[in-house]
Structure 1
C-alpha cells in the first residue's frame, strides 16, 4: 500500500514538474500560447524570459524581460503598438523558419524577417541567450535573425548599436506604444536625442547651443557604431564615452530611452529586484524638448511640472504634456491694441523668426515683433549685450533662475493677466520696465529683478573663459590618456571626470593610508589624496550612521548627478563592507572660516563674491536640481574657497544620505550647527529649504561683520545676548531711525572704509530677512541671487 501511494505521489510530482518546466528553445513547428501561463522561453542562466507579457485584462505583448527584476522590466517587444488578445493568440516557428505572432482571429500581427534564402536551410529553432538576445538558428548553428538587430527602447550589454538602429521611448509609464523620444545616430555621425512629436521635431542632446566638438564629440567617423560592455562602459564611434558608477562584472544593466525623454543607464540590485540609475544624459529634465507641449513651460516644484503661460489655458486637462491654448483669438489687425507680458527667467528654444548679432534695445526688439504678424513673443537676453529673438511659436519652454533674460508674450490688451505680471504696452516708449512678482508662487519665482548690464558683461566674459578652459582641459585629458578611442578594457579609467565607484584599496593608497587629515566633523573626517590619474582629491570617511549598501548606492548616485560651479564636485564614492567614503575635488584655499574670522582677514570684494557664490549654489539645490536637496548645515566651515576665492559649498548631499526612509519634510534627527540652525529644528516643525535660507542669513551677516555671530555678547547690564540677535536688533533700529552712517557702524572695522556701500546695505537687508523667525517671511534663494546681482558694479 505504501509503495502504491509513493508511486502515485511520484507520478503526480513528475506531471507537475513537466507542466511547469522552463523551455530553453522553441523547435520549428512549435508555438507559445498566450493562454498558457507557463509557456515561456528562458535563458540558460535564468536571467531573461521570453513570452507573453500582459497588462490589464486582455492586452498582451510578445516580449523579453528581466526574470529577476521586481516589475519584470521589458527589454524588447515584437508588437509594441499592436497588443494581441488574451484568447487564442500565439507565436510559432513556422515551417519556412519565420517566427510568426498571430491574434485570436489568425491575423498576422508580427513576423520575423530571416536571412535564409533558397540556397540556405530555414531556421530550425529559436533560442533565448544569456545576453537577452532572442535568435533563430539554422541546422548548422548559423544565426538567421536576432532581436538584438531590432531594439525597441533598451540596449543591453554587448548589443551593438548601429546607424540603422534607434531606441524609441514608450508613450508613458505602463504604456508600451511607440513614444516621441529617440536615441539615434544622426546624419553627421553623432549620437543624439530628439523629440519627434505630432507638432514639432527638435534635437536637445547634446546641447544644441554648442557644436559637436565643444561637447567632446567628433563627426569624422562614419562607422556609426556603439556598444555597452559588461563592465558598464559605453563607447561610441563619435567619442561619446560614459560609465556606470558601479562599474564591474556580474551586474545586470540596461540603457533605456525613457518615456520622459531622458536616456538612462540602470543597474539591477539583485537582492531587491529594483533598478538604480548609474548614469543619465540629462541632469536638468526641463531642458528635454517637447516635454510640456505648446505654450507651456517646464518648472521644478521640485519635480519637473508643466504650467501654462499667463493668458493661456490647458489644452487637455487629462494630459498636461499636450500643452496650452490661448484664451484669446490671435489677429493681425493694426487697430487692435496689444501688450507684452513679461515673464522673467523663462526661455523658449527654437522657432526664431530672427536673431540680431548687433546690440539691440528692448524697444527695438519689441518693434521688431510688432512688425511681424507671425510673432507670438520675443525673448530678450541681457548677457553682456542685448540679444533679441522673435518667436513664431512657443515650444520647449523652461524656467531657470540662472537664465538672464525674459520672454515677452504678445496678446491683446483686453486679455486679463495676473495683476502682478509686468506688462509692456505696445505703445510704451519707456526703456526701463521693472520686473515684478509673477502669478503663482509655484509657477514663478517670488522676486525677479533687472540685472545691470555691466555685471552681465563681465559675467559673460567669465563664463566664456570657464567654458573654453573646460573644453581645452577635456580634450587634453582625452588625448593625453587615450590618444584616440579608449579600449573597453580601460574600465575605470575611461573618463577622468566620470562619477564612479572606487575600491577601498584605491582610496587607501591615494591617501597614503589616510595620513593627511584636512578636517573633521560630525559626519566624518576628510583626508587629502592623489588618484592614479594625478588628480588631487578630498576623501571623506563617513561616520558609522551610513549603513545599507544598496540604499547608499542609490542615494549617492543622486549626489553624483549634481553639478554646479558653486558646489564641490563629487567624483565618486566607495561602498565596501563597512566602509562608506565620498571622493570630491580638492579645494585649494580651504574653508571660509579660516579666512574671514580674526586673526585672518578677507577683503570686501572677496566677501561679496562669496555671498553670491553660496546663494547661487543653494538656489541650484533648492530650485533647479532635479533631486531636491536641503543642505541642513550651511556654515563657514562647509564653504570652501578655490584658488580664485570662488565659493564652493561642501557636504551638500550628506543630509539626504542620513535621512533615508523618512518623509521629505521630516528628519529623524536634528542636523546642523548651533548658531546656524533655524528655529524650526527646536520647534519640531517640518523641515523645508527655508532652514538653509536661515543659515545663509547668518553666514552673510558674518561676512559683513567679520566675527562669529553665534557667540554670546555681554551688554552693559551684564545680560547675555546672542551676537546674532544683537546685530539684528541694532541694525533694525538704525535703519528705522534713518541714520545716514548706519552701515558703517555694522561693518567689520578692519575693512577701514574699503567696501561698496550699496552692496553692504543689500547684504544686511538680505541677512536680516533670511534670519526671520517666521520662515514664511524668509526669501527664496533664487530671489536672493537676483537681489545680489542687482548690486553688481
Structure 2
C-alpha cells in the first residue's frame, strides 16, 4: 500500500509513504533551513519507548517542541508514521494498532511538510492546510504560533518522561491566561497572583478573543493585556521557545547556536516556591538558599522520588487529646475551614482543638485586628512572615519533631548528604556533569523488592551452590508477531516435552524448535488461577514489551487446562551456571563481564518499572532468571509471572537470620579505612582482578537495597544512573601475586 522507503531525508512525506522507526534513512523529516527535525525520538537507545516528535536540530539534547503521542510511546521495532491515501496521517505500533492520527480524510491530500517555523502541516494539492501541529501544542509554544482558547500547554511529568504532568497554561473561562496545578488530590490556581483580582494583576477579562503569540523579536502579547519582553528582545536571529516546564514554571528560552544550550530570558515565577503542588500534601517549599521540599515536624516523605505525593504523619490523629507545635515562619496557601476576626489566641486554639477537621491554625494581626484561620488541609506550604500551629496527638514522640530535609547522595564511591532539591530547570540540567542526586524509591517497595530479591538470591545461591541445567547452543532470531500457539504445536516443537532446560517455582522449561526452525524455550506454567480470557489479557501485555535486557516472549498457549509461554532461546544459559558451575578457572566470568551483567540487569528492571508500555513488577529476580546471550548481555526472563503464578517465595527464619548477619558484617566492614575489606565480598576466583570503585559502589547499593525503611532504598532507575556513572572506571585492584 505504501511506496518504498525513501533513501534520504527531506522536509516532506508524500501520500502513500511512511517513516519507519527502525530505518535511519527514513526516520526523519528536516526543515529546509535545518532548524527543526521531525521523527522518532527516544530518551534511551536501549529501550523501545519511542515518540513521534519535533525538536530543535541544533540544540544539544534534542529539545522537543511537539509530541504526537506523549502518553503512549510506540515500540522500537515495526512502528511507523504513514500518510494514507485517504488523507489520514497515522502513527501505528509494531502490531499495526493505531496510536495516534490526525482524523483527516480527504482524497485531495498531497503531502505532510515540516516548515522552517517548526509547524508540521498536512496539505492538499492546492497548498491548503488540512491539519497542522501548531493547532495541537503539547508543552511548548514556538514563535508565531498562535495560542488560542481550547488550547493548553501541559507540562511533562519529569524531564525524561513525556507523560502529561500536573501543570497547565491556558485561557480560563474569564478570558485570562492562567497557570494551574491539577493533581490527583486537589487543583489550585497559582499564576497570576491568586490573592489579587484581574485588574490588580494588570489583566482584563473584557476581551473574548483569547489569543496570544510570541513573535520573532522576543515579545509575547495576549488579548488579556499580558505583555512580556524577553531579556534579549529585538534580536531577530535568535531561536526561542515558550515552555510550560515540568516544575510548574513558565519560561521563555533562547538558543545559543554555538553551544547548543538554552538560556532563560524570561520566567513567570521568580520565586519557585510560589508554584503550587510541588511538595504535595503537608509538604513545605523552602529556600536553603535554593528551593527545597521539606516535611513538617512529626511527618516524613511519602515518596521522596515524587514530592508531589507530599508528607505523611508518623502518628495516628484522633479527634481528642491533641496538642500544638509552633512552626515559625510557615504557612499553607488556601484550604481555610473558616476565618474569624477579633479573637484571642486561646480562643483560636480552642476552635481548632474542637474541630476534628482542623489540622493547624494561624493567629494573625490584620488591620489592627487579631484574626483566626483554621486549616482543613495542608497544601502548598511556604515560608511566611507569620507562624502556624500544627495539631498533633499528645502521644506523638518527641524524636519525630525534626523537620525532614536530608537524604543521601550517591556517586561512584561513598557519597555525602544534601537537602532534597525541587525539580531542576532544563537549563540547570545542561550544566550537570557526573553528579547524580540519589533519588528514593518510586512507589516505595517496587525497586526495593527487586533489589532485595536479587541480592538475597545471589547470596543464598552462592552459599548453597544451587545448580540449574545449562542451556546449550545458539539460536538465530527471526522476527515474528506475538501469537497464540496450540498445545499440539508446542508438543511437537519440544518432542513431547523431552529436553528439560530448567525447573522453578513457576514451572518447567523445555527446549523446542518451531516449524519455522526457531529454537525456543517453552515454559509450562504451574499454579495458574486465571481463566483463558484473563490469562490472554495478562500475557498479551508481555508480548508488547521489548528491551535488549529482557528475554523476548514469542507467544503463549492457553488451551483447556494448559498454560504455556514461548520464549526466545538464549545461547549462554542462565547466570547461575556461570557463577556457580564453572570449575574451569579460565571459564570464570571476568570483572568487566560481571559489571556489564549487573548494569544490564538494572537497565532491564528500570525499564519494567518506569519506561515500558505496561508497568510490570518482576518479584522473582535471581541468577536463574537472568539469561546471557552470545555476547554475555543479560536478558531477564520470567517477568510478569508474579501476576499469573501463585507461589510462596518467602525466606525461612534461619535464612533470614543468616542473611541479616551477612548484611551486618558488610556494613561493619565498610567502615574500615583501607579498601582491603572489599576482597571479602568479591569472588576469590577473580584473584583480586576487579575495579575497586565499581565493587565499592555495587556493595553499597546492595546494602542500601536492604534498608528497613523503604524510603531509603533506591529505585532501579537510580541504580542505573549510579552504575552508568561508574562504567568508565579504569582503576583495577590487583592481588599482590599479580603485581610482581
Aligned equivalents of 1:394, 1:205: Cα separation in 2: 20
**2:379 & 2:405 partners in 1: Cα distance?**
22
Kept in 1, the 8 Å contact 2:294–2:405? The answer is no
Supply the distance in 2 between the matched residues of 1:269 and 1:386 (Cα, whole angstroms): 54
CA shift, 1:305, in A, is: 1.4
Give 1:338's aligned residue: 322
Note the C-alpha offset of 1:208.
0.5
1:782 is aligned to: none
CA shift for structure 1 position 304: 1.4
**Which of 135, 139, 159 matches 2:125?**
139
Alignment match of 1:198 (pick from 184, 194, 197): 184
Residue aligning to 1:72: 62
1:167 aligned counterpart, secondary structure? strand
SS in 1 for 2:100: strand
CA RMSD for the aligned pairs?
A: 2.2
Pick aligned residue for 2:386 from 395, 405, 422? 405
Q: Deviations over 1:120-167 (max 9, x none)?
A: x44210000000000000111100000000000000001000011000
Q: Shift of residue 54 of structure 1? A: 1.2
Matched, 1:362 2:335: no
Task: Give, in angstroms, the shift of residue 319 of structure 1.
Answer: 2.5
1:351 counterpart = 2:330: no
Deviations 1:394-435 (A, max 9, x none): 011112xxx22111111111102469x7xxxxxxxxxxxxxx
TM-score (norm 2): 0.52
Larger Rg: 1
Instruction: Give the SS at the match of 2:121.
Output: strand
Alignment-derived partner of residue 27 in structure 1: 14
Q: Is the 8 A contact 1:45 1:130 kept in 2?
A: yes
Whole-angstrom CA distance in 2 between matches of 1:183 and 1:83: 24
2:157 aligned with 1:179: no
User: 1:331: how far off?
Assistant: 2.1
Match of 1:44 among 4, 22, 32: 32
Q: Which has the higher contact order (CA 8 A, sep 6+)?
A: 2
CA distance in 1 between partners of 2:65 and 2:297 (Å): 42
SS of residue matched to 2:396: coil
Q: Which among 98, 102, 105 is matched to residue 108 of structure 1?
A: 98
Q: Deviations over 1:377-407 (max 9, x none)?
A: 11233454423211111011112xxx22111
Distance 1:363 1:90, change over 3 A: same
Gap runs ≥5 in structure 2: 408-426, 432-740
Give the structure 2 partner of residue 329 of structure 1: 316
Is residue 141 of structure 2 the alignment partner of residue 151 of structure 1? no
Would you say the 8 A contact 1:351–1:391 is kept in 2? yes
State the secondary structure of the residue aligned to 1:59: coil
CA shift for structure 1 position 94: 0.5
SS of the aligned residue for 2:127 comes to coil
Q: Deviations over 1:620-672 (max 9, x none)?
A: xxxxxxxxxxxxxxxxxxxxxxxxxxxxxxxxxxxxxxxxxxxxxxxxxxxxx
Whether the 8 Å CA contact 1:135–1:144 is kept in 2: the answer is yes
What residue number does 1:379 align with? Answer: 362
Q: CA deviation at 1:441?
A: 9.1
Distance 1:122 1:329 in 2: 67
Report the equivalent of 2:667.
none
The 3 A distance-change label for structure 1 pair 31 and 440 is closer
State the number of aligned residues: 401
The answer to whether the 8 Å contact 1:197/1:290 transfers is: yes
The Cα offsets for residues 274-303 of structure 1, whole Å up to 9 and x where unpaired, read as 000000000111111000000110111222
Contact 1:310 1:418 in 2 (8 A): no
SS at match of 2:387: strand
Corresponding residue number in structure 1 for 2:276: 289
CA distance in 2, matches of 1:273, 1:387: 54
Matches within 5 A, 1:153-168: 153-168=139-154
